[in-house]
Amino acid sequence: MPKYVIEREIPGAGNLSAAQLKGISQTSCGVLSKMGPEIQWLHSYVTGDKIYCVYIAPNEKMIREHARQGGFPSNSVAEVKTMIDPVTAE
């Protein structure tokens, strides 16, 4: 199943409280529950003004539908073609 990186522009994301991040996570999980097992949230990285999320889904359309239903921005959605890490250099 394809993996995607979603860039969400959220001004001040890095300053969100733990309670606010919990609320966002709960909203996301609620939408995922309704959408079914084909789409899965793996994890997210919170930076200054953006949140980068990693999802598994059958297509980009499903990723964007999750964002629409949750009220989240999805400024860019990119399919991961491969992963590299330090072991790749060996």
Q: What is the pLDDT of residues 56-72, one digit of tens each?
A: 999 999 999 999 999 99
How many domains does one find in the chain? 1
Q: What's this model's pTM, rounded to 2 decimal places?
A: 0.92
**Encoding tokens for residue 79?**
């399919």
Over residues 16-28, the pLDDT tens digits come to 999 999 999 999 9
What's the domain range around 8? 3-89
pLDDT > 70 in the chain, percent: 100
In this structure, what are the phi and psi dihedrals at residue 70, rounded to the nearest 5 degrees? -85, -10
Which alpha helices (H) appear in 6-84, and where do they start and end? 18-35, 60-70
Question: How high is the mean pLDDT of the chain?
Answer: 97
Q: Which of 90, 68, 88 is nearest to 77 (CA)?
A: 68
Identify the CATH number of the domain in which residue 70 sits.
3.30.70.3090
Residue 29's pLDDT is: 97
Q: What is the pLDDT of residue 83?
A: 94
Token pair 């491969």 is at which residue? 82
